[in-house]
């Protein structure tokens, strides 16, 4: 007897990531504020260490959370093949929450 795969098995990696509590937090208002603060912190560190190679690397790294917070985008979802815009991710999360639970019988 072959088992029918559940809808979880048919989800893409991006959909599975966007269904997690971490994705819900990071794409919400508090996660966006955290990404902005983290980006600013990395850029401040880069400014202090600008004479070293790791200061330049920190500045490049700091652009990811800064742009994610400023423009409401999720680089992780995009790298997994999912939507880039936080608004699109939140809409998908809301649709997933409103979906009825699958039967296990």
CA gap 84, 63 in Å, rounded = 16
Whether residue 36 lies inside any domain: the answer is yes
**Burial of residue 39 (number of CB atoms within 10 Å: 0-12, 13-18, 19+):** buried
Whether residue 6 lies inside any domain: the answer is no
What's residue 44's pLDDT? 97
Taking only the tens place, the pLDDT of each residue in 35-71 is 999 999 999 999 999 999 999 999 999 999 999 999 9
CA 7 to chain centre: 22
Whether residue 37 lies inside any domain: the answer is yes
pLDDT band at 1 (very low <50, low <70, confident <90, very high): very low
Whether residue 42 lies inside any domain: the answer is yes
pLDDT band at 12 (very low <50, low <70, confident <90, very high): confident
What's residue 6's pLDDT? 55
DSSP state of 50: T
Asked if 66 and 43 count as a contact pair (C-beta separation under 8 A), the reply is yes
pLDDT of residue 88 exceeding 80, the answer is yes
Whether residue 23 lies inside any domain: the answer is yes
- Domain range for residue 67? 13-97
What's residue 10's pLDDT? 57
Whether residue 1 lies inside any domain: the answer is no
Whether residue 2 lies inside any domain: the answer is no
Whether residue 57 lies inside any domain: the answer is yes
Please give the tally of structural domains in the chain: 1
């Amino acid at each position: 007897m072959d088992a029918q795969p559940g809808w979880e098995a048919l989800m893409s990696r991006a959909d599975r990531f966007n269904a997690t509590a971490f994705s819900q937090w990071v794409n919400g208002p508090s996660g966006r504020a955290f990404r902005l603060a983290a980006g600013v912190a990395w850029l401040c560190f880069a400014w202090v260490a600008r004479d070293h190679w790791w200061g330049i690397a920190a500045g490049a790294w700091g652009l990811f959370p800064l742009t994610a917070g400023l423009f409401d985008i999720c680089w992780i979802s995009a790298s997994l093949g999912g939507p880039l815009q936080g608004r699109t991710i939140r809409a998908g999360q809301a649709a997933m929450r409103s979906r009825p639970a699958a039967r296990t019988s």
